[in-house]
Structure 1
Amino acid sequence: MCLVTLVIGGDCGGTSTRVVVTTLDGAVVGRGRGGPGNPVARPPAEAAAALVGAVRDALAGLDPTDVVGAVVGVAGYSRLTTAEGAAAYASAWSSTGVPVPLRTVGDAVVAYASGAGDVPTGSVLIAGTGAIACEIVDWTVGRRVDGIGWLLGDEGSGFWFGVAAARHTAHALHAGTGGALVSSVHAAVGGTGPEGFVSAFYALARDKMAALAPLVFEAVRLGDPAAATILEDGADRLAATLLALPPGDGPIVLAGGLLIAVPELRSAVEARLDRTALLAGDAAEAAARLAALQVDAGVLRVVEGA
């Protein structure tokens, strides 16, 4: 008889929840996906239910009692430190049939681990819809810089780029000037003339404002000088956010949708750093690796053969 030992890793974000089941040596044997998993953006019970649904999908055809470790990174992790959040996740997890407790960590931890491998201390810069830099110390979040939301910070984020593009467009329309960026942003937002554009922009939902960010990068590729200036400004702000962390010798990991998907921005940020940064990989698989690292090999009895 062979005793199979499995671990679960998860990445619970504002858009979706992803879960993997792997062996201790990292071979993926199951995957699952659920709905939005940020317990700050939605009720903790709903976010926990999304996680449980993804776990059940990932465990399809597998025995939950073979799981010996489970780690998930959660956007909005602070909510899990409250009694309501902790109770919601504990109750939901008990329904999975997994015999080991769930360990939750901030999404910055698994983003860092996805690029840094097994090195437990370093730093991570995340730029997606929002932006934050975190010091990681022994797989826990230390000091944080920015990540304070779209009104007060998140500089160099998707929201920041979207607003910067709209700001430039509003001024250009009032001045009677144009360019690739102005044309694309005006077309996306709508409105007749400068005043109509401004009114249409203020009527947008926040996610629609952030959705203007790709227009900046498209205009950069078309050679628009205003877009290039905005990109350089955003790179300055992201690098400053990262460099405000305490200095250290550990790895620097770049993560988040903008830094992963926009090579022009990533290169601009890297040019402002004094050493080579690593690029984030799959956060759910990184969480599974963290779970495997926590498994005490001394308490496992693996029997090979019949």
Structure 2
Amino acid sequence: MTVTLVLGMDIGGTSSRALVADVEGHVRGAGQAGGGNPISRGLAGITAIRDALRAATAGVDPADIKAAVFGLAGGEVAMRTPEIVQALETGWRQAGLLCTPAMVSDVTLAYVSGTDAADGTVVVSGTGAVAAAIRDRTVMRAADGHGWLLGDHGSGFWIGREAVRAVLITLDRDGSLSELNRQVLRDLGVPDADRLAGGRTLTNAIIETAHRIPPPELARLAPLVLTAADGGDQEATLITRRAADHLTASVNVIRQPGATSPIVLGGSLLTTPNPLSRALRTSLGRTWPDTKISTSGEGAAAAAWLASRHLPDISALASRQLYTRLLTTKGS
């Protein structure tokens, strides 16, 4: 029997997830592979996208998939790159898709997965950071999201860089390294601090090591800082508060005073309880006290729901029910 299916994909720098569902909200297939962001991983990331697609569609007839949405990190830039567009098209044709997927940004997915409201605000902090005003589930304005070199204030990268800078400042002042400082050095693989003590030997080792690491990888230090802040470390707490201030400032750029539309927190640093997410909630709550603040959910499910909105015969009631089943009950 012919069924109508929809496909959603959330293509990020860390992982690529695909989900196939019917219009009643039953999950018919799911797949996961490595990072597929073509901006950071180049065309090699297309392999991960194809792997996730194959896994998700293995148990269904691809011809039954009538609509699809791909959420893509760096989507606007990627979709202006002919080689990437051609590789994506080859990938979905190889998976047997007859429909042409629509492309949205990962920021849109973060928002949609956190609320069914058409208009609102989303702020994301993972490796990078961005805040965006959403109108009719489309990004209308954005603040930051400028990448590690030019922005991403309050992101995992920013926090990691500040943690390294804190070590260097301590050494410049001839102070004693804290336990957090030592944890940062161990994670970076810098040789034992005691052995290199004296003069600028240790400082030079840190600088040389940090410059050999691809800058976005400094984001891996963020959990160390947040854990230390949870334990009362003053330096970590200060970095965390400054990160929350930066994210709040980005929201202030694109959100009107007195707005009551929802705010969605997305990204790995804001979707789990930690000092940063708590500080940001408190800060946003002071400025917009009448606003509901929620966290983003499953991006691939959000993409599948967005795909269903491209179907010509789905009613508003059916669309709302599908949203509830896919994004509130996680398709169960």
Matches within 5 A, 1:185-264: 185-189=184-188, 190-191=190-191, 192-193=196-197, 194-195=202-203, 196-247=205-256, 248-264=259-275
Matches within 5 A, 1:160-179: 160-174=158-172, 175-179=174-178
Identify the range of structure 1 (158-167 vs 88-97) with the bigger mean alpha-carbon deviation. 88-97
1:173 to partner: Cα distance: 2.6
Pair 1:82 & 2:98 matched: no
Indicate which of 68, 71, 83 corresponds to 2:69. 71
1:249 to partner: Cα distance: 4.0
Pair 1:282 & 2:280 matched: no
Aligned residues: 296
**Post-superposition CA distance 1:180-224 (Å, at most 9, x none):** 322322333324234233333333332442211111112112211
How many angstroms apart in 2 are the aligned matches of 1:264 and 1:73? 29
Pair 1:112 & 2:128 matched: no
The verdict on how the C-alpha distance between 1:110 and 1:64 changes in structure 2, with shifts beyond 3 A counting, is same
Q: Which residue of 1 aligns with 2:325?
A: none
**Post-superposition CA distance 1:18-74 (Å, at most 9, x none):** 101111122212111233211212334x44443232112111121111111111100
Structure 2, unpaired ranges of 5+: 316-332
Q: Secondary structure at the match of 1:257?
A: coil
1:298 to partner: Cα distance: 6.5
Q: Which residue of 2 aligns with 1:295?
A: 311
Structure 1, unpaired ranges of 5+: 300-306
How many angstroms apart in 2 are the aligned matches of 1:241 and 1:298? 37
Q: Secondary structure at the match of 2:162?
A: helix
1:113 to partner: Cα distance: 0.6
The verdict on how the C-alpha distance between 1:56 and 1:208 changes in structure 2, with shifts beyond 3 A counting, is closer
Q: Secondary structure at the match of 1:22?
A: strand
Q: Which residue of 1 aligns with 2:92?
A: 93
Q: Secondary structure at the match of 2:30?
A: strand
Task: State the percentage of identical aligned residues.
Answer: 37
- TM-score, normalized by length of structure 2? 0.83
The verdict on how the C-alpha distance between 1:69 and 1:154 changes in structure 2, with shifts beyond 3 A counting, is same
**Post-superposition CA distance 1:258-288 (Å, at most 9, x none):** 1113522111001111233110000001111
Pair 1:266 & 2:266 matched: no
The verdict on how the C-alpha distance between 1:102 and 1:208 changes in structure 2, with shifts beyond 3 A counting, is closer
Whether the 8 Å CA contact 1:148–1:154 is kept in 2: the answer is: yes
The verdict on how the C-alpha distance between 1:84 and 1:205 changes in structure 2, with shifts beyond 3 A counting, is closer
Q: Which amino acid aligns with 2:59?
A: G
How many angstroms apart in 1 are the aligned matches of 2:262 and 2:25? 21
How many angstroms apart in 2 are the aligned matches of 1:69 and 1:134? 26
Identify the range of structure 1 (6-15 vs 166-175) with the bigger mean alpha-carbon deviation. 166-175
Q: Which amino acid aligns with 2:268?
A: G
Identify the range of structure 1 (136-145 vs 152-161) with the bigger mean alpha-carbon deviation. 136-145
Whether the 8 Å CA contact 2:28–2:59 is kept in 1: the answer is: no
Q: Which residue of 2 aligns with 1:41?
A: 40
The verdict on how the C-alpha distance between 1:68 and 1:209 changes in structure 2, with shifts beyond 3 A counting, is same
The alignment yields a C-alpha RMSD, in angstroms, of 2.0
- TM-score, normalized by length of structure 1? 0.90
